[in-house]
A and B are shown apart, each in its own frame.
Chain A
Amino acid sequence: MDGAGNMQSEKSKRDFLKYVLGGGLMAWVASVVYPLFAYLKPPKQAEVEVSSVKVGKLATIEKDSGTIVRFGNKPVILLRTSNGELRAFSATCTHLDCTVQYRKDLGVIWCACHNGKYDFNGKNTAGPPPRPLDEFRVVVQGEEVFISKNA
C-alpha cells in the first residue's frame, strides 16, 4: 500500500522534473536562437566604415574641392585639383594639431588656427607649420575612389 503511494509521489516528481527540464531546454534554445537571429540581421550601418576608405564615386567629387574623410582615427583631406587629379593628405596640421581645410579662394590647404598654408604637394609653404603633411595614396578602381596609407 505504501508502495502505491510512493509510486504516485515518484510519478509527480518525475513529471515535475520533466517539466523543468523541458522548460529549461526551451529557454536555452531561445537564448541561443535570439542572439543568432539578431546577429544575422544587418546592422543599420550596412557597410564597414573602413580605413582604406572607399570615399565614393569619382563623379561625386567636384573638381577644385577638398573634403575631410575619416581614416581609422585620423582625418584625411581628399583634394581634387581643377584638372581632375586626386590627392590625399593627413588633415592634422603639423603645428598644433588643428584640422586643416581646403580654401578654394586661396588655392591652398589652410589651417584656421594660425594661418598655416600647405600646397598641393602637402608641403608647408607659409605660417608656423614645421613639416609637410603626410601623403596618402588615392586609387580609383572602376568608379570608386579609395584612400589608403602610402606604401
Chain B
Amino acid sequence: MKGRTWQAIVALVVICSLTSTPFGVAADQCRTCHEALGDKPSTLFKRDIHSQKGVSCADCHGGVASAEDMERAMDKSKGFIGVPKGDAVSEVCAKCHGDAKRMAQFRSMIPIGQFKALQTSVHGRLSTTGKERIVQCTTCHNAHGIVQVADPASPVYPLNVVKTCTKCHADAAFMQKYNPSLSVDQLEKYRTSVHGMRNAKGDPKTAECASCHGSHEILPAADVRSRAYPTNLPGTCAHCHADAGYMKAYGIPTDQFEKFSKSVHGVALLEKHDLGAPACNKCHGNHGATPPGVESISKVCGSCHALNADLFSSSPHKKAFDERKLPECETCHGKHEIIAATDKLLGNSQEAVCSRCHSERERAKGYQVAGTMRSLIDSLELLERKAQLLVSDAEQKGMEISEARFKLRDVRQARLEARTKVHSFNEGQFREVVAKGFATALVVGEEGQQAIDEYYFRRLGLGVATLIITIVAISLYMFIRRIERSAVHKQTSI
C-alpha cells in the first residue's frame, strides 16, 4: 500500500476509537472516514447544527454508522440510500423534522409542518423533469452545512435570504421554464426600496422575501390563501409596521394599519372583499415599496380616481400645492385614514378642509367659491330628497311611477359628478353639472306630486260618482214604488 493510504488507515483507526456519540459509545464511523478523506460534505458537516446535536451521517443516508467496515457501513440492506436524489432528499429531512416525537428528543422548538407546507406550496409543484418537486429542503438550506436560521451563516438568515431566492427568481432563463410572465426584477426593485436599502446595509429586522411571502408555504399572490393576496396583504405588512416595539428604532408611525382598517379603502378591501380597493402595495409598490413622492400622489390616487386626478392637475390648486410642498390628494383626504368623502369636506365651515387655507380675508376668492359650491350641492341634495320622498309616497299609494323612479338615477348621478367636479375648483364647470341635476330633480318632484294628486282625485271622483249613483238609485227606487203603488191603486179602485 502507498504511504498516504497507510496514514489514512491509521488515522482512521485512531479517530474511530476516540470518537463517541450520545447514542452510545460507538462513534460515527462514516464521519471518521470521510473526514479523513477530506471531502466537502464532511468538512461542511463539522459546522452543521445536526452534527452538534449528535446526528450521524447514517441518520440521513442510512446504513450502519458504527460499522468500521465500508461494506457493512454502506450496506443497502441496512438502509443505505447513498446520495438521495429528487424528492427523496426532502423525505429524508422530513423523517425527523416532520415527527414531533423525534424533534422532542432533541428538545427542539422548531415547527414540524414545513414539509407538508412545502408540498402544497407553489414550490411543491413538479419540476420540468416531472420526476421531482421544483424545490427540496436542501435548495434553500443546503445539505451539509445547515445552521439555524438565526445564524448569520445560514442562507436563510434575513440578510442572506435575498441571495438564496434570487438564485432562481432572478434567473430569467430558469424562470422562463416555469412562469414566463413572472417578473425577474424583484431584486432590482427591492434594492430601491427602504427595505432593500436597509437590508443591504445589514439590518436583519427589515423585510426580505420570506417576511411577506413566507418560507415553506409560499403561494402565488393570486391565491386567496397567500400572505400577499390583496385581502391578506395589509395584515402581512402590519405584522411589522403595526408593532410599535419592533419599529421603535425606525422612527416612523405604526398606526397606518389601524387607520387603514377604518378607512373607505380598508373597509372595502378587508370587510367587503372588494378587490377593486387598494391594499398597501397598490400605492406603495410591491418590491420597490416606497411612499409616493409629494408631486406624484395625485398620479397614484389617479390610477383609480382618474377623473378627480385630472381635474386636480389642471386646476389652480396643483401649482399652489406643489409650491408649498403640500401632498396633493392627501392634504384634504388623508392617506391611510381616508374616510368616505361627504359634502362636509366642502365649504366655509370649520369642519370643511377649504377653511384650512381659505378665509374671508386670506385667499378670499377660494373662500367664496367654496361657499357657493357647498350651498349648491346642499340644495341639490335637498331637492333629491324631496323628489325621492314624493316618488316613494306615490309608490306607496300604488301609483304607477316607474319612469320617475328611473329619472331619479340621473339626479344621483349628477350629485356624484358634482362631487367629482369639485376638484376642478372652477365655479362655472361646477354650476353646469349641478344645473342638470336641479332640472331633473324638479321634473321628478313634479311627476311625483302629480301622481299623488291623481291618487286623491280618484277618491274624490269616486265619492262624487257614488253620490250621483246613490241619488239616482234612491229616486229610481221611489219611482218604482210609486209606479207599483199607482198600479195597485188602479187595480183596487177598479
Q: Is A24's CB under 8 angstroms from B274's CB?
A: no
Please measure, in the bound complex, the distance between the C-alpha atom of A25 and the C-alpha atom of B470, giving whole angstroms.
11
Please measure, in the bound complex, the distance between the C-alpha atom of A98 and the C-alpha atom of B420, giving whole angstroms.
13
A148 at the B interface (CB under 8 A) = no
Number of residues of chain A lying within 8 A (CB) of chain B: 28
Offer 9 A-B interface pairs, CB within 8 angstroms, sorted by A.
A17-B475, A25-B472, A28-B469, A31-B468, A73-B405, A73-B406, A114-B305, A116-B276, A129-B276
Q: Is B403's CB under 8 angstroms from A49's CB?
A: yes
Please measure, in the bound complex, the distance between the C-alpha atom of A115 and the C-alpha atom of B304, giving whole angstroms.
5
Residues of A within 8 A of B303 (CB): 115
Q: Which residue of A lies closest to B274 (CB)?
A: A128
Q: Which residue of B lies closest to A35 (CB)?
A: B461
Q: Is B482's CB under 8 angstroms from A114's CB?
A: no
A140 at the B interface (CB under 8 A) = no
Q: Is A24's CB under 8 angstroms from B276's CB?
A: no
Q: Mark B406-431, 1 if CB is under 8 A from A, else 0.
A: 10010001001100100000000000
**Shortest CB–CB separation between residue B267 and chain A, in angstroms?**
13
Residues of A within 8 A of B405 (CB): 73
Please measure, in the bound complex, the distance between the C-alpha atom of A112 and the C-alpha atom of B62, giving whole angstroms.
68
Given A70-B406, A73-B406, A128-B276, answer yes or no on A115-B305 (Cβ-Cβ < 8 Å): yes
Q: Mark A3-36, 1 if CB is under 8 A from B, else 0.
A: 0000000000010011011001101100100000
Q: Is A98's CB under 8 angstroms from B304's CB?
A: no
Please measure, in the bound complex, the distance between the C-alpha atom of A112 and the C-alpha atom of B478, giving whole angstroms.
73
Residues of A within 8 A of B420 (CB): 112
B174 at the A interface (CB under 8 A) = no
Q: Is B307's CB under 8 angstroms from A24's CB?
A: no
Tell me which residues from 6 to 36 in chain B have a Cβ below 8 Å from any Cβ of chain A.
none
Given A17-B478, A24-B475, A73-B405, answer yes or no on A128-B304 (Cβ-Cβ < 8 Å): yes
Please measure, in the bound complex, the distance between the C-alpha atom of A24 and the C-alpha atom of B274, giving whole angstroms.
69
Residues of B within 8 A of A75 (CB): 406, 409
Tell me which residues from 39 to 83 in chain A have a Cβ below 8 Å from any Cβ of chain B.
49, 70, 72-75
Q: Which residue of B lies closest to A34 (CB)?
A: B461
If A24-B472, A31-B465, A128-B304 are given as contacts, then 9 extra A-B residue pairs at C-beta distance below 8 Å, sorted by A number, are A17-B475, A17-B479, A24-B468, A25-B472, A28-B469, A31-B468, A73-B402, A98-B413, A98-B416
